[in-house]
Structures are given as C-alpha cells and as structure tokens.
Chains A and B, each alone.
Chain A
C-alpha cells in the first residue's frame, strides 16, 4: 500500500461546484499521501464540507477531477467512493437512529446468509469485534442507536468507516460534539490509523484540534483555497491569518484564494 511518496493517495484537482449561482467550491486542489493527516481548515461556510462531500460521492462537481493512486477516479455516488476505499465520518454522523449498531455499520453493505437473507448474527459478531477495539465498554448492541450517548454514536460512525479497510478516511468535525476524554480517544485513533498507512482528511474549524494531529493544513475561504502548508513551516497565528483574512504566509504555498 505504501506508495513511493510521489503518487498521492488522493488528489482533487481544480474542483468547482456551484449551488444556484453561488460558488461553494471554486477551483480547489488538495492532495493526500498514505499515512498523512491533512487538516482542512476554514470558517463555517468556507466550503470544506462541500469539498469533502464531492470526494465522498454525495455531490457531483461541476468541474475538476479526482485521482486515486494517480489514476483518474470516477466518483458520482457514495457507493463509488467506497469502492475506492474512501470512507467518511460525517459531522452529523449520518446514522439511522431507529436501527441498531450492527445495522448502521453494515448499512448498504450487509452480510447475507447463503439464502440471501440478512445475517444479523454474523454482523453482530463483527460489530462486537470492531467495537471492542474502539469502545471496549460498549454493550448496547441490540438497541437502536437513538438510545446511545454522543460518544457511543460517534464510535458507531467511526466503526462503520474503518471496518471496511478504508484507505482514505474523511473526518468532518469529528470532535465537535465530544467531551475531553472522547476527543482524546479520537486523537489516539487518528494516530493509530495514520501508522497503518491510512490517509486522513481532518476537517475542523478549530485549529488547535488540527495542529496537534495534522502533517499539513489546507485553508479555505469563501470557497477558494487560500493555501497549503506543512504544519512545521507555519505558526498557529499565521494559519489563523489565512482563515480569517485569507493572507498566505511565506511558509505556505498560496492558492487561488490568497489575497
């Protein structure tokens, strides 16, 4: 899985999308290498989530191309994205509240018996395994996820993303609704997955979150890319300047949105 370092795991080139005349994402290019964490920063409404929904197949871009392992990838549905090993943990978690943990983890990719019926026992067994790794105290396997706490719901959403051997993981505001202990758990998980060679897009509006975990940051403002930088080459204040003012510091590579 480890590439020679020059071929990015994922490359989004010159992506644009508009909703009713408003350019939500305008000519943005980002990339991600194996074992790398890239923080995607920007204000609410900067276009981060929209950009990432294009990668996860929820939206189709008006222009631009996506490359996976250097090859052109045609992603027009969530199913396509998953086929390329791109998994997403959405900010809203995107769980069906009325279904139990196993049902959610395997939603759209159910394990079937030889008779074509749902193999709930097998799915529950797998769920118990993956949850034992993510959240050892999790016991409520048979209850609708509506009944679970915020942290438990989060671990179900994470389990769904990592269970199917993701190569690219998109985490949209993964810690927004979590307490300090759970936030630390997510951070540990990010580092562990990184070690396994998974590339991670970490979306956040909180730069402290990102600075601790990311190797690089890309900053968006008003749908445009302000710039990208290695975290060693820039200070937090400079990145804050990129987010708020769109000002690209010397340590960063400016994008089309730099003022």
Chain B
C-alpha cells in the first residue's frame, strides 16, 4: 500500500499496461529471483546434479537462517543511514552466554536436560542481545556518536567479552531440546507439521490478498484485475507448497530413522523407512522473523518513521517524530535479532565458542545490500535482504560442493557483492 518499501511501489500507471505493471510486481525482486535461479541451475549443472537435491537445498536453507534473520534488522539500520558492524560480535557474546547458561548456570537450579532450560535460554539471549543493541543505540541516538564508530568499537568490545565469559574455553554440548534451534535431526519438524504449516501459509496468503482488495474497493480505489490477484495467489501458494515438498523429500539418515522407529515402536522393514525431515525449525523461525519484520516495516508507525528518517532526517524531526527514540529502538531490534541468531548458530554447532559469528557482520551487511538496501538510506525491503542472504549462501555452498578453495570462495563472494550493487545502481538510474 505504501511507497517506502520497493515491493509495494507500483510502476507509474501509464497507458503502457504491461503484464508486470498489472501484477504490481517489483521488477528488482524478480531480477534477484532470476539471478538466484541462474546460480542454482549453474551450480547444479557444474556439480553434476548435486546442487538441486532436497538434501542440499535443505542444508542450504538451514545455513542461511542465521544471517537472514540478522539481515532483516540490518535493513532497518541501513535505511536510517546507519550501519551496525557489531552484529557478529554480539552474536558471539550472546552465544557464549547462552552456552554457559545452559551448561553451567541453569543446571545448578533445574538439573540437566530440564524442559524449561531451552525457553529460558532463548529468553535470555533475546534480552541480552536487545539490551546490548539498545545501549549502542543510545550512544548513537542520544550522545550523537556515529554508528560506524560505536559499532566498530562494539565489534571489539563484544568479541572480547565473548572471550571473557569462559576465558576462551569452548562450552559443549548443548541441551538436547535447545539443539532443535540449530536444525539437524532434532530440529526437523517432520512431514505432517510441514504440510500443516504450508497449508496455513497458503490460507493466510489468500486471505491477505482478499482483505487488501476489499479494503481498496471499499474506498473506491483502483485495484489489480481479478486475474492478476489469482496469478499472484497461485504463484505464492505454489512456492510455499514446493518448498514444503522439497523439505519433505529429504529423508532422515537410516540410523536416525531406525532409532526413531524403535522409539515409536514401529517395526523396521527390510528396505528401510522413508521418514522425511520436513522444514527445519531455524528456517521456520527465519521465515516468521521475516514476516514479523515486514509487518513492522510496512504496517506499523515505527516502520514508517524508520523510512521517513532515512528519506529526510530533518523532515522527520520537523514532523514531530521522536527520531532519537526511533533510532535507539532500531538498534535494540538489531541486537534482539542477533540474540535469536546466536541461539541458532550455537545450537547448530552444538557448542558455544568465542569465535562464533566472526565476519558475520560483513555477510549480514552484504545480504542487505545485495537485497537492494541503499546505503544512502531510505530504501530497502526485508524480503530483499533475506533473498540476498540466500544468494550469498548459495554461492558459498555451491563452491564448497565444487571443491573451490576457501580463498577463491571469498574472492568470488566479494566480487559478486560489488557486481550486484553496480547492477542495482544501473537499474535504479534507468527507471528514474
């Protein structure tokens, strides 16, 4: 409905009613999807059909989750013309706290493997991450220290703090329920749950499209043609169902499946059992975070203010917006998301190390920027940034599959970042 987010800004309603303008689809987003398709098919051909297998795509989705979650927050930070270089270090320190809390602190009161351990630890991670973010936001918004400096300092401070938590010792293993946040076998939700989630998602898509249409009609505004809404609903639901099908096409490894069958009293047949993974918990969390953040960015007053500050800080101030408090909240939100990512990456590693999240700040910023967030401020979408994270992770996993050396991987990722921003700039200048 509103313009600050590129996905919702339709092309000029001129007589040239092309297909895309009828669908009111953002061409940039379509371009990114095309780029992703090229990368996927390219790697699949080069790897001899290994890339586009349910197994690889499932792993890819799990590997993307942590960075994608942080990228949604980075979009808002960059939209306000700021930067956060400390996200990887915040992830590191929160990850250490999370590890120590469930291995040393909580067991002293609850005992090992208590059902409350995982929820308490997640709450702690979100709180600590959020407080760190709010503190940095306060330094930036109220003391007027440039965000580059505050978070550059934060990068060193929080990384150092991560070391101090245990004097550098790695903490392992994690609580078994907590490990579900990392994906893996514990975090795979199974076929039935996956289909239910997919069905609910499809229902919500259709309801949301219908409500938006009815609302515009009730004010007598122009709406998309009916068939266009149908096409959008079909494509969106198709994508959801396809993703569910892929997740359900990846079976548990034989040993795990056998344990599961024994635990559930199912006889183990001759040819083995096909027990699907289903969607992974971290991926589900990432998708939910993406939806909530999109809602905040486009449907809430706070999101409107964030974009207004990015578009014209002085105008935002003169409109009576409390720009400082808004900015502080943006950084608080960023820290909170780092807390969620800290849970995911600690659980995935099944260990808390003080090096967790090293260089994540660069991947997170790159994801946001590849996803169309303008460093000049005011422009960016949550969905774009998450897609950006997927593009980056696809490149890396693909190169790992092909056995490309690590230094060369970095060279390629770096080059792609620069290339993507250049192409994006060309596109923006052309449509202007």
Binding site for B on A (CB under 8 A): 56-58, 77-79, 82, 88, 90, 92-100, 102-104, 107-110, 112, 116-118, 120-122, 124-125, 139-140, 142-144, 147
Which chain B residues in 308-330 approach chain A with CB under 8 Å? 308, 310-312, 314-321
The answer to whether A100 touches B3 (Cβ under 8 A) is yes
The answer to whether A107 touches B3 (Cβ under 8 A) is no
Tell me how far the C-beta of B432 lies from the nearest C-beta in chain A, rounded to whole angstroms. 8
Which of B3, B221, B317 contacts A103, CB < 8 Å?
B3
Known contacts A97-B378, A124-B219; A144 and B3 CB within 8 A of each other = yes
When C-beta atoms are compared, the residue in chain B nearest to A110 turns out to be B301
- Give complex CA distance A57, B320 in Å: 9
The answer to whether A90 touches B318 (Cβ under 8 A) is yes
The answer to whether B320 touches A125 (Cβ under 8 A) is no
The answer to whether A78 touches B317 (Cβ under 8 A) is yes
Binding site for A on B (CB under 8 A): 1-4, 9-10, 12-13, 215-216, 218-219, 221, 295, 298-301, 304, 307-308, 310-312, 314-321, 378-379
The answer to whether A97 touches B216 (Cβ under 8 A) is no
When C-beta atoms are compared, the residue in chain B nearest to A99 turns out to be B4
Closest 4 A-B residue pairs measured CB to CB?
A96-B311, A79-B320, A100-B3, A120-B1
Chain A residues closer than 8 Å to B312, beta-carbon distance: 94-97
The answer to whether A142 touches B10 (Cβ under 8 A) is yes
The answer to whether A78 touches B219 (Cβ under 8 A) is no
Given known contacts A99-B308, A121-B216, what 20 new A-B pairs fall within 8 Å (CB)?
A58-B317, A58-B318, A77-B320, A94-B318, A96-B316, A100-B3, A103-B4, A108-B316, A108-B321, A110-B301, A117-B300, A121-B1, A121-B221, A122-B219, A124-B219, A125-B221, A142-B9, A143-B9, A143-B12, A144-B4
The answer to whether B307 touches A117 (Cβ under 8 A) is no
Most buried by B among A77, A88, A98, A144: A98
- Give complex CA distance A103, B1 in Å: 10
Known contacts A112-B301, A118-B304; A94 and B10 CB within 8 A of each other = no
When C-beta atoms are compared, the residue in chain A nearest to B296 turns out to be A117
Chain B residues closer than 8 Å to A77, beta-carbon distance: 320
Which of B13, B219, B310 contacts A121, CB < 8 Å?
B219
Chain A residues closer than 8 Å to B318, beta-carbon distance: 56, 58, 78, 88, 90, 94
When C-beta atoms are compared, the residue in chain A nearest to B380 turns out to be A98
Most buried by B among A58, A82, A88, A103: A103
The answer to whether A118 touches B2 (Cβ under 8 A) is yes
Tell me how far the C-beta of A257 lies from the nearest C-beta in chain B, rounded to whole angstroms. 28
Known contacts A90-B318, A99-B307; A118 and B3 CB within 8 A of each other = no
The answer to whether B10 touches A107 (Cβ under 8 A) is no
The answer to whether B2 touches A99 (Cβ under 8 A) is yes
Tell me how far the C-beta of B222 lies from the nearest C-beta in chain A, rounded to whole angstroms. 10
The answer to whether B3 touches A98 (Cβ under 8 A) is yes
Known contacts A94-B314, A96-B308; A108 and B3 CB within 8 A of each other = no
- Give complex CA distance A88, B320 in Å: 12
Known contacts A107-B319, A121-B221; A143 and B3 CB within 8 A of each other = yes
Chain B residues closer than 8 Å to A82, beta-carbon distance: 320
Known contacts A56-B318, A58-B318, A100-B2; A107 and B304 CB within 8 A of each other = yes
Which of B3, B13, B219 contacts A99, CB < 8 Å?
B3
Chain A residues closer than 8 Å to B295, beta-carbon distance: 117
Known contacts A99-B4, A103-B308; A94 and B216 CB within 8 A of each other = no
